[in-house]
Amino acid sequence: MNGASDTSAVLRPPREVMRLSRLGRFYPTRLSFARILVRRMARERWRIQPAVRELDDDGFGRVSYHVHTPSGVLGFAAFSHQLDPADRTDRVIAERWDASFALTVEPPTRADLDRLHENVPRQEAGRCGAREIVLSRANRSVRLFDEVVASLADGRQPSLDDVGRVGYLMRTTAVYGNGKFGLADFEQVRRRGILTLPFQAEMLTVYLIRHFSLELVDHLAVRRGGFRAVSLDGPRRRALGIGNATGLGMAPFLVSHPQLIDRWVRMRETALARVMEVEQASPGELARFRTLLARARTHVAEWRPQVGDAGLARRLGTVERRLEELERLVAAEGDGELLLGFRPWTALAAWAGDDTETAELLNSILIELYPERVDDLETTAGSDEREETDPAMPIGALRETIEARYGWALEVEFDRPESQGLFWYHSEEKEEPRLGFRHEEPGAERELRLGIARQVAHLHRTLDREDPARPTGRFLRENPGFRKIVRRIQSLEDSPYAEIRDNLLDRSCEPADLLRGKLSMLGASRFDPKSLLWTRVTFFQGAPLANELERSDADDWGFATTAAAGVGTIA
């Protein structure tokens, strides 16, 4: 099977894919990082071994695990603290949490654990070093955590409906890695050979937090209920993932790592293109498609945004109706011919039409349907992110490159005030990323450089006055402020999906679309936007538990549903 870069399959053009209105409709796929990680854990038979468990009657204290992999042993430390409800907030600016965590390059010794206990609960204010890979914190779900503990202590399983409705016992509010706050640099982590792809360390941490949260409710149930207490059963454990509250920090990442974004989207689009090449669907593939379709419809039905944006709720309603219609069209006993002809999945895409929410969900199903066609792509998710300037490139050639690849940016009318209505910045408060209104608030002079379209347009106008034969390097010597955008343009020649083809400074820009695009690539589901600025999501809902990784169906947890969990299948 071809790699991501040499496929002969016809990929969807970037002008269609790299729009906020499309990225904001993405669903996780079997190539999302959470899925890739669990598949690898299962394939390589990773083991999570308890090492230290020092929790009091209220569940406060510390726990550590050893994570055994064929390439070495990692450590994980969890600290559970008392938290006044008044201090509980999802915001980055919080300073106290219910629990805090660190993933470490080696199993922590007692001394390490003492050191981590001093620092990890303080998060950004603590001192971590090159022996720590990831730093994270989480809050208990007020909607579910105590209710689950009370039920178990009383000898009852909690309501499966409640479990499925909330979807997690704990919700992370930050997962830091890759050298931030003095943590191990990704290069160091990669060289150790265990976590070699982007975000694997972060995803593993979230998986371990889920494991910890499930152990914690069992511990509390026993301490409170004694002999009456029961352990949370398998279906409910699987139905619980880990919540995550994510805000604007995702947006700078998407703009600052264009080569990574290109790899991720190209991986997904290549997978889809390969599936679209299928000339005839076999009876087995059609049966599997119907199974996944039914599961996806239930998944959407169970996805109930709490506060939500009205647009998402409306779109999900449409998806549900259309999937019902599709189920009738492709029923085994039906006479529908939609999928019986040549290139059935192309016909399906045509059926979805311009309804991007439905179309992207179906795309995720199709990628799920053909592991043998797509799974080899998972190794293409990384990039060395090397950007380089080509100083010898004539200015005329640079202009032509801009006109060929950045036409979308040149079309923006920047003399309209609304086109620069927003500015992105880091606040003094814990360096939290925020969004301001340029013409109404101070601080725009310190804005983050996320306005790629504006920078390109400015460069293009400036180059108009230059000799086309002049080397770019000489231009940059006199105009150093353009180095960043010139280098970006020159470096992304072979990265067609690198740029989000919208003006992120426009007053109408909806950051929630950016968040969903990236989170889906990580593997998050059940997007629950609380505003246009931040969202809650769930990771690993339906994923196999640590003791289920060797099951033959351990990889079959896409579109997790409570209903499926309730009858004992993994998802």
Partner 1 sequence: MAASRALEGAGAPAGTERDGARSAVWLESRGLRGTAALLLDLHTIAATEGRTPSIAGHRAELAGFPILVWGSTLVELAMLEAGTSIMLQDCPSPRALLPEAAAQAGRGWCFQLAAGEGRASVAGAELYLDGSFAELDSADVRLVATALRPVSGLPPAPSRASLTAADLEARHAISLANGLRLAPCDWSRIRVAAARILVPASERSRSRGAGAEVDDNE
Q: Which residues bind partner 1 (CB under 8 A)?
A: 85, 88-93, 129-130, 139, 141-143, 179-180, 182, 184-185, 187-188, 191, 245-249, 306-307, 388-389, 391-392, 425-429, 431-436, 441-443, 446, 449, 455, 471, 473-474, 476-478, 480-487, 530-531, 533-534
C-alpha span between 409 and 406 (Å, rounded): 5
Give the C-alpha distances (Å, rounded to integers) separating 103 from 153, 524, 568: 30, 20, 31
C-alpha span between 122 and 142 (Å, rounded): 22
**Bridge partner residues of 76 (DSSP):** 65, 103
Q: Between residues 179 and 311, which has the closer beta carbon with respect to partner 1? A: 179
Nearest distance, CB of residue 119 and partner 1, angstroms: 14
Largest CA distance in the chain: 85
Nearest distance, CB of residue 188 and partner 1, angstroms: 4
Q: How is residue 116 written in tokens?
A: 């981590």
Question: Considering only CA atoms, which of 516, 517, 489 is closest in space to residue 405?
Answer: 489
Q: Between residues 73 and 476, which has the closer beta carbon with respect to partner 1? A: 476
Nearest distance, CB of residue 350 and partner 1, angstroms: 38
Q: Which residue has the tokens 């598949």?
A: 39
Q: How many Cα atoms occupy the beta-carbon half-sphere of 140 within 13 Å?
A: 24
C-alpha span between 6 and 373 (Å, rounded): 14
Q: How is residue 357 written in tokens?
A: 């929410």
C-alpha span between 530 and 90 (Å, rounded): 11
Nearest distance, CB of residue 44 and partner 1, angstroms: 24
Q: How is residue 434 written in tokens?
A: 């925020």
C-alpha span between 3 and 487 (Å, rounded): 26
Nearest distance, CB of residue 355 and partner 1, angstroms: 29
Give the C-alpha distances (Å, rounded to integers) separating 99 from 163, 208, 217: 20, 13, 13
Q: Between residues 89 and 231, which has the closer beta carbon with respect to partner 1? A: 89
Nearest distance, CB of residue 485 and partner 1, angstroms: 7
Q: Between residues 187 and 279, which has the closer beta carbon with respect to partner 1? A: 187
C-alpha span between 338 and 328 (Å, rounded): 11
Nearest distance, CB of residue 424 and partner 1, angstroms: 10
- Using DSSP's 3-state secondary structure scheme, residue 72 falls into strand
Q: Which residue has the tokens 């999945």?
A: 345
C-alpha span between 131 and 206 (Å, rounded): 18
Nearest distance, CB of residue 166 and partner 1, angstroms: 9
Q: How is residue 522 written in tokens?
A: 């990580």
Q: Between residues 90 and 215, which has the closer beta carbon with respect to partner 1? A: 90
Question: Do residues 134 and 183 make contact, with C-beta atoms less than 8 angstroms apart?
Answer: yes
Q: Between residues 149 and 276, which has the closer beta carbon with respect to partner 1? A: 149
Question: Do residues 398 and 409 make contact, with C-beta atoms less than 8 angstroms apart?
Answer: no
Nearest distance, CB of residue 442 and partner 1, angstroms: 7
Nearest distance, CB of residue 89 and partner 1, angstroms: 5
Q: Between residues 244 and 298, which has the closer beta carbon with respect to partner 1? A: 244
Nearest distance, CB of residue 307 and partner 1, angstroms: 6
Q: Between residues 110 and 446, which has the closer beta carbon with respect to partner 1? A: 446
Q: Between residues 161 and 187, which has the closer beta carbon with respect to partner 1? A: 187
Nearest distance, CB of residue 382 and partner 1, angstroms: 18
Q: Which residue has the tokens 């969202």?
A: 535
Q: Between residues 182 and 568, which has the closer beta carbon with respect to partner 1? A: 182
Q: Between residues 27 and 423, which has the closer beta carbon with respect to partner 1? A: 423
**Bridge partner residues of 47 (DSSP):** 68
Q: Between residues 257 and 290, which has the closer beta carbon with respect to partner 1? A: 257
Residue-wise over 381-394: b if at least 16 C-beta within 10 A, else e?
bbbeeeeebbeebb
Q: Between residues 370 and 425, which has the closer beta carbon with respect to partner 1? A: 425
Nearest distance, CB of residue 333 and partner 1, angstroms: 44
Residue-wise over 103-131: b if at least 16 C-beta within 10 A, else e?
bbbebbeeebbebbbebbbebeebebeeb
The amino acid at residue 451 is G
C-alpha span between 253 and 450 (Å, rounded): 10
Question: Considering only CA atoms, which of 65, 76, 64 is closest in space to residue 205?
Answer: 76
